[in-house]
Structure 1
Amino acid sequence: FTGSIQGTKFTNDLNRNGIFEAGVDLPQPDVTIFLDQNNNGRLDNGELQTPTNSLGGYSFSNLSPATYTVQEIVPPGFTRVTPVQPVTVVANQTTNFDILNIAQTPPTVTGSISGRKFNDINANGRLDVGEPGIPGFTIYIDLNTNNIFDSSESSRLTDATGSYQFNDLQPGTYTLREVQQPGFVATQVPAPVTIPLSTSATVPNFTNINFGNRRDTGSISGRKFIDVNANRTFEPGTDQPQPNVTLFLDINNNGRLDIGDLQTQTDNLGGYSFSNLPPATYTVQEIVPAGFTRVTPVQAVTVVANQPTNFDIANVQVPPPPVTGSISGRKFNDINNDRTFTPGTDQLQPDVTIFLDINNNGQLDRGDLQTQTDNLGGYSFSNLPPATYTVQEIVPAGFTRVTPVQAV
């Protein structure tokens, strides 16, 4: 004893009753209908399936009395609205189960507009290779085209590379403007951008909608030199230029060359230059060459728009440290009276005061260098400038000095 399930797969349910009505609703042919035995919502091997015919009809016959779940592979662009529910089969009866789909409303395809705010160094109205972006500028969509940034208008702030981007823009025509800043003159203003109405996901995104500005800048240049006569002013023929010295603009004034600080090398005439600098004050620092000291004070250097600023930097040579020597020896009891230390015969004299007699008066005075002999009778004076010295001692009681007092 078996039963069957049949029905119609349809769309465009005009009267919203969920039941197929011929002549009103639209049948959906070639849709795969299947009995979902394990209720996982997928068509698995072994599950009964059939395609709908030209009238949207389908049928499953010779079914044992039970409950079944009738599923479909929903066609692209449609959504099933008939609930997934148990369908009961009764012996020797046909159960009707219609399935309604409705067409999905295609999403509105949106576009984007992006570009860069750049320093048009050559003022030709184009973004050329090497022209830098300008951060911190406000780019906005001028909805009412009054050339004024209103609070209700969408805006973006250019990033470190001068870039900006507006996303999810509905089809329409957009006029982009920038909020000008002092010290800049516009050289490129983009035309309005039209995002077309489209149902295709391939609507173009509009890039390279750029804003060009010429920046009013100045420069710092000068000479790095060895100040031979120590007057802090470069004098040709007397002072010497210093090539290959690293100079940098110390942005955070920490006295070190950091990442992001502008730097340059002095040329073979000691010259250097920093150009395209916005009007401001700068600190020009250097990596001081070994053996030199900077004598030009570290100070603020003011850059004025469209003007060069000269700033020379003088170094002087550091005098080399003095070469020194030392005096050392042994204090001993000359047992065999030969005035030469004989190991095993003569005796070492520890704890004897030895001093350099600066004024040669034979006495230990304040300011005379002194030391004590160690347990082996040794003594030493180090870091002595080249000169002649008189080595004296405080002769221990019961002894007489036999080494002559002489210049060392």
Structure 2
Amino acid sequence: MTATTVPEKPNVLSQEFARDPHTYYRIMRDYYPVLHDDVSGYYFVSRYEDVERIYKDSVGFSNENYGFQMEPVIGRTVIQMGGREHSVNRHLVTPALRGNYLNEMLPQVDDLAGEMIDEFRHAGRVDLVEQFTKWFPINVVVKMLDLPRGDLPKFHNWYSSLMAFLSNLTNDPEIHAWGMRTQEEYPAYILPIIAERRRNPGTDLISRLTQAEIDGEQFSDEQIKALIGLLLIAGGETTDKAIASTIKHLLLNPDQLEAVKKDPALATNALVENLRYHPPVQIILRTATADIEVSGTTIPAGSVVACVNGAANRDERRFENPDEFDIFRPDLNIRQAFAGSADHIAFALGRHFCVGSLLAKREGETAITQILAAMPDIRFADGAVPDDVGLFTRGPERLVVEFTPAA
């Protein structure tokens, strides 16, 4: 009997890993389901069952890691809270992102997408990342906050610095310095606006947050500042990458692309399958609160655990033919895909399931349907398939397409 050769442990910080993580994800799932990285000290968990367990176990695995990932730049947010503090803060913000206010915003989401697409529908060639997906979600957030559209470059710089700071595994001093600049610039910009909206509230999201109250508790200006910073991250780069990746994978699967063109309702299926196949947030961190065994490895108390969504979502133990992009996949419940009971792992799971998932859903549906309607013969420019980039968040850096210009 021939002995099985165990592959070398993947180096998650290597350039080879960054170029083709899915090759290494399979090695991790099969041979190193809990991989300890010596440089960062993190424990990378890659199997679906293990990642699901970690997200749902808020006692054994906390969000304390956001204390060093985000708090130094934007302050303490609901994403790192636990217990009653988390419950109160989540209840305060949920109506704005999942209630009547969201329903009021949805027509404006559609209008914003249409306005942006109108700027290039006659061009015949466009980089959809640079001219649409990079700006559309942040446009929506700025609209919700009723802030000047001319300040979009500032917001993009701030959320880019936040994402870089969040995923700075190697403690790059330049990334740290970039985050510290945001720490100074962002509060100086937003706190006076919050104070003014508290004095003279309108109907925008900032005003609503200043007035929100549960059991006599309200958000402070500092809390609102931090929450808006979280919206910039959760509502910016992640939705940007989800839309760009979905379009890319539809273009790579012409039969499915044609199906979505014929039935725009299938845009939801495409978005959900992309969340499974290529989640924009590939890795989310948690902190072990005690010594805990996962897949035969003891993770020491206080250790940072990296839940690898990108690996878990392609675990053949959970999904059939996981490396195939299939918008008609029978083992993925579309109805539950934007709720805490989702089959895929893209928004996390459990009590910290992404509260902005329904906004992301509408943005994705709107973007996909309007782009395909405006560019019915959309194709990769020069036949070139764009590369994906990123470790924590991942998606195409560019998405240059060609199409017949609108008459």
Scaled to the shorter chain, the TM-score interval is under 0.3
| Bigger CA radius of gyration | 1
Name whichever structure is richer in strand by fraction: 1
Q: TM-score, normalised by structure 2?
A: 0.16
Q: TM-score, normalised by structure 1?
A: 0.16
Name whichever structure is richer in helix by fraction: 2
